[in-house]
């Protein structure tokens, strides 16, 4: 069977910028940071860090209190993003019996329901309680988001949860893409969500010494990918979802098509848990180009993984230089984590949406907090986007996700010709 084309017909966000796609992308291209100061004075020990949150999100209002009460916040964010993407695709929530038996879900999360488990631990060990709420396991399990999405939308096909650290939702999108392209599923809802606000999670990340410092005055500029003075990543919460659909199926029902996903590649560095490797990232980049039937010269933009860590940024640029050769010097590259933060299991999905919108709007968001004077020489050799670019000519783009554990995933997208 010939591979099928895969359309992107729905996009949905729960982000610190809100859920409006136009506003989200406008603020990204304007270089507007959503990073704020998070204080945990109510915790056992104070923790003061830059963070990205979604303060306007009201789960009860978005989902209804009965449904929201059955979910940890990571699943609430995921469900709300999924509902938004589903509506954006023009698909009704209710389905005729059996009509969606082969439609599926692939979801990414690095942490799952850590808030539910942390509350349980505190109830047991701090408050001296001898039992926990009966839904604790169901709130905390990593597949809670995709399970609820499948139930609420009547999706009877595959329902998968991918937990691959920072590459979780990129891999979820890639695996969903493969199922639609192969003809196994005409429609897949995919994406990711995470909430790293649990006190224990934040302290664990702090102990790794990869988190950027900052206070109320400096937090907005705390994340500086590729800059010589970069200090580390900024954690954040959020959810992002995409509806992937067989191209002919989408056209037949008159769906609006945001873009096309055309390639997916993965690899493992197989060398170190936290130290990235150029060769592994090169394998993932080359696998994606081969899967998409594209040459390096065909790529017009790369949304970089770009976490602003000391080791990660130079390795990613070195991998791009190795794959793109002389083309790298004129290849636009930007890291939107500088503005929306690192959403862990949701990172690949929100960056995939940013990449699709870049192709759709023919504009490139910048790497905020970076300029020619602050660029690390070890990260040179590509066309860094220091300020938003509009009216550009973009046909194809890549979105990179590189995770702890050495897992690498790259997605390739193509603009829809109007």
Known catalytic residue: 268?
Answer: no
Cα-flanking dihedrals φ and ψ of residue 30, to 5°? Answer: -80, -5
Residue 286: how many CA atoms within 13 Å on its side-chain side? 12
Q: How far apart are CA 81 and CA 21, in angstroms?
A: 11
Structure tokens at 114: 């850590």
Q: How far apart are CA 394 and CA 382, in angstroms?
A: 17
> Which of 166, 223, 340, 384 is flagged as catalytic?
166
> Which of 148, 342, 379, 384 is flagged as catalytic?
342
Question: What is the DSSP-derived secondary structure letter of residue 373?
Answer: T
Alpha helices in 221-341 (DSSP H): 247-252, 278-292, 312-324, 337-340
Asked if 319 and 278 count as a contact pair (C-beta separation under 8 A), the reply is yes
Q: In what helix (H) or strand (E) does residue 149 lie, and over which residues does it extend?
A: helix 144-153
Q: How far apart are CA 192 and CA 238, in angstroms?
A: 8
- Inter-axis angle of helices 278-292 and 312-324, nearest 10: 50
Known catalytic residue: 102?
Answer: no
Asked if 287 and 407 count as a contact pair (C-beta separation under 8 A), the reply is no
Known catalytic residue: 223?
Answer: no
> Which of 305, 340, 379, 384 is flagged as catalytic?
305
Q: Which residues contact 48 (CB under 8 A, 6 or more apart)?
A: 37, 38, 39, 40, 215
For the annotated catalytic residues, the residue numbers are 166, 305, 342
């Amino acid at each position: 069977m010939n591979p099928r084309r895969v359309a992107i017909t729905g996009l949905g966000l729960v982000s610190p910028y809100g859920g409006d796609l136009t506003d989200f992308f406008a603020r990204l291209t304007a270089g507007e940071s959503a990073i704020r100061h998070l204080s945990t004075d109510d915790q056992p020990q104070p923790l003061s860090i830059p963070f990205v949150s979604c303060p306007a999100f009201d789960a009860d209002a978005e989902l209804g209190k009965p449904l929201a009460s059955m979910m940890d916040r990571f699943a609430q964010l995921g469900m709300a993003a999924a509902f938004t993407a589903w509506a954006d695709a023009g698909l009704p929530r209710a389905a005729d019996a059996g009509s969606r038996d082969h439609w599926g879900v692939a979801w990414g999360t690095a942490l799952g329901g850590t808030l539910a488990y942390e509350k349980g631990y505190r109830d047991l060990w701090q408050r001296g309680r001898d039992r926990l709420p009966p839904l604790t396991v169901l709130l905390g399990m990593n597949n809670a988001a995709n399970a609820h999405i499948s139930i609420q939308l009547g999706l009877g096909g595959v329902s998968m949860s991918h937990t691959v650290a920072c590459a979780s939702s990129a891999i979820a999108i890639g695996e969903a893409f493969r199922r639609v392209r192969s003809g196994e599923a005409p429609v897949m809802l995919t994406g990711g969500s995470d909430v790293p606000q649990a006190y224990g999670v934040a302290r664990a990340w702090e102990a790794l010494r990869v988190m950027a410092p900052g206070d109320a005055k400096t937090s907005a500029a705390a994340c500086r990918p590729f800059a010589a003075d970069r200090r580390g990543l900024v954690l954040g919460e959020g959810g992002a979802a995409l509806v992937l659909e067989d191209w002919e199926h989408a056209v037949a029902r008159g769906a609006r098509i945001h873009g096309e996903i055309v390639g997916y590649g993965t690899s493992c560095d197989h060398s170190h848990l936290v130290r990235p490797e150029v060769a592994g990232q090169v394998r993932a980049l080359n696998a994606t180009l081969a899967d998409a039937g594209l040459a390096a010269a065909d790529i017009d933009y790369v949304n970089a993984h770009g976490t602003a860590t000391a080791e990660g940024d130079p390795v990613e640029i070195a991998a791009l230089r190795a794959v793109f050769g002389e083309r790298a010097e004129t290849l636009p590259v930007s890291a939107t984590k500088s503005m929306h933060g690192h959403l862990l299991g949701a990172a690949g999905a929100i960056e995939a949406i940013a990449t699709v919108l870049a192709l759709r709007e023919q504009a490139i968001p910048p790497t905020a907090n970076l300029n020619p004077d602050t660029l690390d020489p070890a990260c040179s050799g590509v066309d860094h986007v220091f300020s938003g670019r509009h009216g550009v000519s973009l046909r194809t783009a890549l979105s990179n996700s590189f995770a702890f554990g050495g897992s690498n995933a790259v997605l390739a997208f193509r603009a829809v010709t109007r």
